[in-house]
Structure 1
Amino acid sequence: MKLYGGIDLHSNNCVIAIINEQGETLTVKRLNNDMSVILSFLSPYKDNLKGLVVESTFNWYWLVDALMDAEFKLHLANCNGLMKLDRFIA
């Protein structure tokens, strides 16, 4: 099963959503910005995640660096240039 994830990053928390290839939401959760908590949440989905989109706001670098170290496939998104997600799902 192909899964896709998105992370809405805020100053002290993030909201992570995981969807399947039909665009159905499997889970959405608000988490503290603690890498151990984030990695624990994402680990059950890791093998099926085709990519995680992280908005490229001013504070994204620590999250992206840690997720890259954990070998997640990442994409940075410019919030001003996003199109509907369903256009990107093949």
Structure 2
Amino acid sequence: MKLYGGIDLHSNNSVVALLDEEDHVVYRKRLANDPALVLESLAPYREAITGLVVESTYNWYWLVDALMDAGYRVHLANTAAIVQYSGLKYSDDD
């Protein structure tokens, strides 16, 4: 089984998600921004992960360095260049 990961990076925590080839969520968790903790959380899925996408915010360097040093294939997402999904619903939608 191949897994694809995305990491939504915030100032003091990250949301790590892994999806399978059919877009089923296999793992999703909010973690403190601690490289050892992130790597430990990904470890059980290591062999199946084909790549991880990290949001290229102002503080992405430490995370990308840790992931690449651990041998993960990492991609940066330029959030300013990504077109938002046009079907987004908002909390006040009926």
Query: Does the pair score TM above 0.5?
Result: yes
Q: CA deviation at 1:25?
A: 0.8
Q: CA deviation at 1:81?
A: 2.4
Within 1, Cα distance between the matches of 2:9 and 2:42? 15
What is the CA deviation profile of residues 10-35 of structure 1, one whole-angstrom value per residue up to 9, with x for unaligned ones? 11100000000001111110000111
Alignment: residue pair count: 84
Task: Give 3-state SS (helix, strand or coil) of 2:23's partner.
Answer: coil
What is the CA deviation profile of residues 46-82 of structure 1, one whole-angstrom value per residue up to 9, with x for unaligned ones? 1110100001011000100111000000000011223
Match of 1:88 in 2: none
Match of 1:7 in 2: 7
Match of 1:48 in 2: 48
**Matching of residues 1-90 of structure 1 within 5 Å:** 1-82=1-82
Within 2, Cα distance between the matches of 1:27 and 1:83? 25
Within 1, Cα distance between the matches of 2:82 and 2:48? 24
- Bigger fraction of residues in helix: 1
What letter matches 1:41 in structure 2? S
- TM-score (norm. length: structure 1): 0.88
Within 2, Cα distance between the matches of 1:83 and 1:75? 17
**Structure 2, unaligned stretches of length 5 or more?**
85-94
What CA RMSD, in Å, does the superposition of the two structures yield over aligned residues?
1.2
Within 2, Cα distance between the matches of 1:62 and 1:47? 22
- TM-score (norm. length: structure 2): 0.85
Q: Which has the larger radius of gyration?
A: 2
Task: Give 3-state SS (helix, strand or coil) of 1:42's partner.
Answer: helix
Task: Give 3-state SS (helix, strand or coil) of 1:57's partner.
Answer: coil
